[in-house]
Amino acid sequence: MTLAQRIHHLAESQTIKMAKMGRELAAKGIDIINLSFGEPDFNTPEYIKNAAKQALDENYTFYTPVAGYPELRKAIAGKLKRENNLAYDFDQIVVSTGAKQALANAILCLVNPGDEVIIPTPYWVSYSEMVKLAEGVSVFIDTTVEQNFKITAAQLEAAITPKTKAFFFSSPCNPTGSVYSREELAELVKVFEKYPEIYIISDEIYEHINFGEKHESIAQFPSVKERVVVVNGFSKAYAMTGWRIGYLAANKEVAQACDKIQGQFTSATCSITQRAGIAACEGGLESVLKMKEAFLKRRNLVYELLKNIPGIKSNLPSGAFYFFPDVSAYFGKAHQGVVIKNALDLSLYLLNEAHVAIVSGEAFGDPKSIRISYAASEEKLKEALYRIKLALAKLT
Ligand code: PMP
Ligand code: GLU
């Protein structure tokens, strides 16, 4: 066998795979509506693009410090204080090539082979694979649409064992859009207070795409802050997915470890992107709020359209830009010889029959559901949901 074991055991990112399949069909001239990828369809705000142009003109084209320019790390520390009431020194911040790398850094720095990492399901596709790469063991806590996909303190406590090293979650959540309130986080914190050795990796990348109460970070609880790794980034809030910039804030030991590992893997993220990141941090939230309003309108639209499709069971997501409906009512049905056994079959059926790309729930740890991204125009969303409805109606 040529390739290492770890690559054989690693699953391909299903979000990326479905987006790729959608693009391939579109390249063949098929009118595909791509609701698979979690990517804002807006352009990056002008003031951020201008900062990047200026960075090039000013020759910010050399290697940067591994953890990012000090000015950027200070700007991020300022953001965390201003928007989240979290105090961090700039050297507790490590800027990476997307929040994805920040998450991978944290897992690789914290998890030993055999360590357990508790992950509530549904979870974002890459969490379990990152744990696998670190040779850790994912321990999943199942949730249901009825509980709005949020775990209880009792469920958390029941999942903890002497091997538990970390708890890994997102709020607002990709794929369910669920958001933990301050009270709900406080309940989880009470459990963590009993287990001071457990780290908490808190993925807050959808912080600003939150339609309910103000975003709360679990790091705001002083009794656990020291062992929370806050991960955030610019991809979603500022429509900067292609720029590849995200960051983490942690205690100094973890931050230095992440700096060390990143120094061996990528050196640092792009210098020009980092200058744009400073502008994003310091430019206020006007453009972010505008995009949030658009997402809210789309959420309400898709919710109404989904309600009219028989056999679809969905919560009303409070944040992010996804729906994660239970579609198990269609399992066992068929159309022209194509039998739908599971969510993967259904996602392929919708791609081929409705020409709408979505992602199967298996990749998120929930085989009963599919994920629909609504980061698309209202016109496209209406058309996509219409096509989905027609295709599902053909299943008998
Ligand atoms: N966390 C979650 C929950 C996500 O949906 C994503 C997707 N972009 C990321 C992290 C990674 O974001 P990026 O690497 O683009 O900053
Ligand atoms: N986070 C996005 C998603 O869930 C982008 C894809 C990815 O980074 O895997 O679709």
Give tens-digit pLDDT for 43-64.
Answer: 999 999 999 999 999 999 999 9
Structurally, what CATH architecture does the domain formed by 5-43+287-393 represent?
A: Alpha-Beta Complex (3.90)
Query: Which bound ligand lies closest to the C-alpha atom of 359?
Result: 2
The reply to whether ligand 1 has any atom less than 6 angstroms from the CB of 124 is: yes
Q: Which of 97, 124, 171 to mutate to test the pocket of ligand 1 (most atoms within 8 A of CB)?
A: 124
Task: Say how many CA atoms lie within 13 Å of 261 toward its Cβ.
Answer: 20
Q: How far is CA 270 from CA 39, 60, 98, 245, in A?
A: 20, 9, 11, 8
| Domain 46-284, CATH number (from 3.40.50.2300, 3.30.1330.200, 3.40.640.10, 3.40.50.10190) | 3.40.640.10
The structure tokens listed for 257 are 């470890």
Q: Is the CB of 241 inside a 6 Å radius of any atom of ligand 1? A: yes
Q: Is 68's C-beta closer than 6 angstroms to any atom of ligand 1?
A: no
CA distance 349 to 291: 31
CA distance 270 to 267: 9
**What is the reported pTM?**
0.96
Among 37, 236, 321, name the best residue to mutate to test ligand 2's pocket (greatest count of ligand atoms within 8 A of Cβ): 37
Instruction: Pick the closest to residue 101 from 266, 274, 320, 270 (CA basis).
Output: 266
| Domain boundary assignment for the chain | 5-43+287-393, 46-284
Closest ligand 1 atom to the C-alpha of 15? 7
131: nearest Cα among 96, 156, 168: 168
Written as six digits, the tokens of 292 are 């949030």
Q: What is the pLDDT of residues 153-178, one digit of tens each?
A: 999 999 999 999 999 999 999 999 99
> Looking at the chain, which runs of residues are DSSP E strands?
33-34, 93-96, 116-120, 137-141, 164-170, 199-203, 228-233, 246-249, 322-323, 334-335, 338-339, 356-357, 359-360, 370-373
Tens digits of per-residue pLDDT, 58-88?
999 999 999 999 999 999 999 999 999 999 9
Ligand 2 atom nearest 174 alpha carbon: 4
